Amino acid sequence: MSEWALLLIVALPLLALWIRSMFEVVRRGDYSATQRVTWTLILILIPVVGLASYVVARTSPKLRVSGERGDSSRAEELVLLAERRQRGELDDAGFHEAVAALRHG
């Protein structure tokens, strides 16, 4: 019983993390071919410690960064319009005209 519990609590997440890391290493665009091969070998050949070193060494994933994109939603567009007016790039009349177009367009 306790062996099963140990297997579930310890081995399963380790295995899941290992598989996830393997997939990540193989697909990483920012690693060179040599780096990818090296990390794959480390992950396969050195159990647990290899995984721990990869977890420490890998750089963190990208944050969700919003930017002034072309394909913005209507909500995003309203915010951009309001900000342009705030910066003085758009006058009140222009803003309200654009908002009307946004609502009914």
Of the ranges 28-36, 37-45, 54-62, which one interacts with another protein (CB under 8 A)? Answer: 54-62
With a CB cutoff of 8 Å and minimum separation 6, the contacts of 51 are 14, 17, 18, 21, 43
Any contact of residue 96 with another protein (CB under 8 A)? yes
Rounded to whole angstroms, how far apart are CA atoms 85 and 26? 47
Q: Which of 25, 39, 43, 51 binds another protein (CB under 8 A)?
A: 51
Q: How far is the CB of 1 from another protein (least distance, A)?
A: 13
Of the ranges 23-31, 36-44, 49-57, which one interacts with another protein (CB under 8 A)? Answer: 49-57
Amino acid at 62: K
Q: How many residues does the chain have?
A: 105
Rounded to whole angstroms, how far apart are CA atoms 6 and 3? 5
Q: Which of 63, 71, 104, 105 binds another protein (CB under 8 A)?
A: 63
